[in-house]
Amino acid sequence: MRFRSVSLIMMYLFLIQLVLPASVCAGIADQTNSLKELFKIPAQARLERTTEEGFVFVSWSLQQGTGEAPVGGQAAFDETTGEFLYYVEEYNAPRLAVEMKQADCQKHLETIIARMLPAKQAKVKLNGAIEKFVLDDGTYYSFYFQRQEGQIPVQDNGLYFTFNASTGRVASFQSEWYAGKLPDAAGLLSAAAANSAFAENISVQLEWTKIASGLDDLKFNLRPVYRIADFFAVDARSGELVQLFPSEVIPYQFNPKSIPGNYGAVTTAATIAAAAAESAGRQGAGIPAGYKLDGSYPNWSWGEQGRTTDFVFVDTNYEVEIHVTVDMVSGRILNINKFINSEETSPRFNYSSAKDKALEFCKTAAPREFADLKLVEQDSSNDYPGYRFIRYIYGIPFTGNGVQVEVNEYTGDISRYYFTWERNLNIPSLTGIMEPAQARTVIAQNNQMDLVYSVQQNFDDKTDSFIETVRLVYIPRTSAEEFFDAVTGAKIEKGKVPAGIKGHWSETSFRNLAEMGIVNSNTAIDPNRPITRGEFTRMLVLATYLIPTSVQKSTFSDVGLSNPLIGYIEQAYANGIIKGSGGKFNPDKSITRQEAAVILVKALKSEGRIDPDIQAGETAFKDKKYIASWAAQDVKMAAYLGYIKGFNGYFKPLNSITWAEAAALMNAYINN
């Protein structure tokens, strides 16, 4: 029976070959010859052909000199159809006498498509967004030939090339092509009808944005806008559709100037003595008796040198270090950062009780501004419960200004305080501002809808597998993250999120992870709870596309065979991502920031995503002396690669990370 099945399969493959285009039936041999010619493989290069899991790999290598590592490249073909799927090379080729123009690069790639991908040639169209970037070994262009079906683009489908114009060579190629049947383009809404559906679902937020009136005087004109997306808004007066750009918020500079009242004229004042500023810092930050001054430094980040001072207080055992920034004019507290170098047990303050602490401190630290502040959701970048107070001007939020307070959930102390309040603002009146309904109409009038095939991968918790679905959707250009069904006009939710996540700052991160099956969308998650070592390991194993292994014997004495995370922990151990200590892994213990950095870097190395020649320099973290010696190098590497940035100059290596922070880190790991 087994031989009969094999014979049927071979007959089936033979029949497939009969109906394929002649250029494909020519087989891998012809494709290899085209590869050698069009990808300019050196004649003296050594070629090797291997077959694995339905793919044929054609590799070439070239020894450049004695003692030097060989260079080369690799291409992948479908074993059955001979279709060209992938190419990458690492070859420091000689530069051309004259660098190729972009149009000539494009022409060469079109020749490759015609020769090696003839079945796809008529179904792709060059996407206009051609990226140019310059590296040490030449000028590169990125080309994306997007798949079109009946003049309708297929999202994230097509042929991707990177071309080195300085050497005239293809650096990489990849074909992304959905193999399933696309839905029929029948019974679709018109773009106008889809735009009407979009207009009905628009959520607008009236807020202030700022525009510099001059770089010399650093004065800003506030502009009321209705924001509809991260970088798009409508002017609340003129109805003009404007594109917003992130702008650095300039802190309220107390350099000998202060603003009486909330929006008064600027006056000058003399600075106070250092001893008086230190006393104000101790009192305002609640420094316990017995803490000594470990240093004081002029703080450049708050304005001119000497106008603000950063005081560092430590306890007798150097287990607690508190940095306090003091305004040297008024003696007010501008910034607090508290670092605890000790093992923490279990939280005693929940969100509500910690919020009361934050409100109480905010009233004391910013009494003049408190009336213009409004508490919003939990802060997005904290280790403890954090609270963000937004500045309101005439009842409209100015999101770049306000106060951020972080409360230590173990002790109830204020562990971080940050005050941002801009001066020199030209604040217009509110006359002539349109209503939200008018803003939505203006947005719809200025919007265009793009009809595309959207290919989405969603993880099915029941079958524990990914399911690909394709829909015809309209995407508004002013809000590219939203999708509307091209037949019904209904807004499409981009994946489910676990209960407890909706509305949290980490919702997008969790939504992405739920789509990939890294978090279970049917299980409630508290995003502010510290994540355990076992839970973090599971997320990272799935983010590296590893499959939990079947286990007969546990490597760690504290991870039993009945533990639902054992398969992930063993897979991480087998790939060198975790090691444990003393035969234990401590899966139920909260993972610290330095432990997370170490595991993350080991995962990157296991995937070959870190160049072994990269040397990460020293970090600028103010608390780097508290980073354990076994974690120091990996923390440096994680910071160098941009995965960790710390907060306000501190890394806080022994603090736990929350589920929300872990979700953000996993998104960075997957997307970087």
pLDDT digits (tens, 9 = 90+) for 187-237: 899 998 988 888 887 778 888 887 654 444 445 678 888 877 656 788 888
Residue bearing the bigger pLDDT, 168 or 488: 168
Strands (E) located in 477-565: 483-485, 491-492
Q: How many CB atoms sit inside 10 A of residue 359's CB?
A: 16
Count the Cβ atoms, other than its own, within 10 Å of residue 109.
20
Q: Examine residue 572 and state whether it is found in any structural domain, yes or no.
A: yes
Give the model confidence (pLDDT) of 283-317 as tens digits: 888 898 899 998 887 764 444 334 788 898 998 88
Residues 468 and 405 in one domain: no
Question: Are 415 and 524 in the same domain?
Answer: no
Q: What is the pLDDT of residue 246?
A: 41
pLDDT of res. 115:
94
Phi-psi map region of 40: left, alpha, beta (phi>0 left; psi -120 to 50 alpha) = left
Residue 551 shares a structural domain with residue 634 = yes
Q: Of 76-80, 316-320, 491-495, where does mean pLDDT reach its minimum? A: 491-495
pLDDT at 84 over 90: yes
pLDDT of 363 higher than 70: yes
> Which has more pLDDT, 664 or 399?
664
Q: Answer positive or negative: Cα dihedral of 347, 351, 353, 356.
A: positive
> Is 50 exceeded by the pLDDT of residue 380?
no
Domain match, 370 and 394 both: yes
Both 655 and 593 in one domain: the answer is: yes
pLDDT of residue 475: 86
Distances (CA, A) of 483 to 16, 146, 192, 486: 37, 19, 15, 9
Please state which of the ranges 25-39, 498-512, 596-610 shows the lowest mean pLDDT. 498-512
Question: How many residues are recorded in the chain?
Answer: 672
Residues 263 and 410 in one domain: yes
- 655 and 519: one domain? yes
> Would 632 be classed as within a structural domain?
yes
Give the up-direction half-sphere exposure of residue 106: CA atoms within 13 A in the CB hemisphere. Answer: 14
| 16 vs 24: CA distance, rounded Å | 11
How large is the average pLDDT for residues 143-157? 92
Mapped onto helix, strand or coil, the DSSP state of residue 482 is coil
Are the beta carbons of 559 and 565 closer than 8 angstroms? yes
What residues does 453 pair with on adjacent strands?
154, 472
Does 88 lie in the same domain as 72? Answer: yes
Q: Using one digit for the tens of pLDDT, what is the confidence trace for 381-417?
A: 444 557 778 889 888 888 778 888 878 767 777 877 8
Q: Are 204 and 234 in contact (CB under 8 A)?
A: yes
Considering only CA atoms, which of 203, 212, 238, 214 is closest in space to residue 224? Answer: 238
Same domain, 442 and 408: no
The range of the structural domain enclosing residue 97 comes to 22-176
- SS3 sequence of 325-387: EEECCCCCEEEEEEEECCCCCCCCCCHHHHHHHHHHHHHHHCCCCHHHEEEEEECCCCCCCEE
Tell me, yes or no, whether 487 lies in a domain: yes
Query: Residues 656, 515: one domain?
Result: yes
> Is 185 domain-assigned?
no
Q: Which of 148-152, 202-206, 294-298, 499-503 has the highest mean pLDDT?
A: 148-152
Nearest to 330 by CA among 309, 300, 312, 361: 309
Query: What CATH number does residue 331 fall under?
Result: 3.30.310
- Residue 269 contacts by C-beta under 8 Å, 6 or more apart in sequence? 256, 257, 258, 329, 330
**196 and 77 share a domain?**
no
Residue 646 forms part of a structural domain: yes
Angle at 122 between CA 121 and CA 126, to 5 degrees: 75
Q: Is residue 186 part of a domain?
A: no
The answer to whether 113 and 58 are in contact (CB under 8 A) is no
Q: In this predicted model, which residue has the larger pLDDT, 478 or 429?
A: 429
Q: What is the mean pLDDT of the chain?
A: 79
Positive or negative torsion for Cα 536, 541, 542, 544: positive
Query: Is 47 within a domain?
Result: yes
Residue finishing a domain among 126, 153, 176: 176
Are residues 470 and 518 both part of a single domain? no
**Residue 444, both tokens:** 């719809």
Kindly report, residue by residue over 552-598, the tens digit of the pLDDT: 889 998 898 888 889 899 999 999 999 888 889 988 888 888 999 99
- Domains held by the chain: number: 5
Predicted pLDDT at 453: 92
- Asked if 451 and 188 touch (Cβ cutoff 8 Å), the reply is yes
Question: Each residue of 415-451: pLDDT tens digit?
Answer: 778 887 776 677 888 888 898 888 888 888 888 888 9
What's the pLDDT score for residue 54? 86
Asked, for residue 501, whether it belongs to a domain, the answer is no
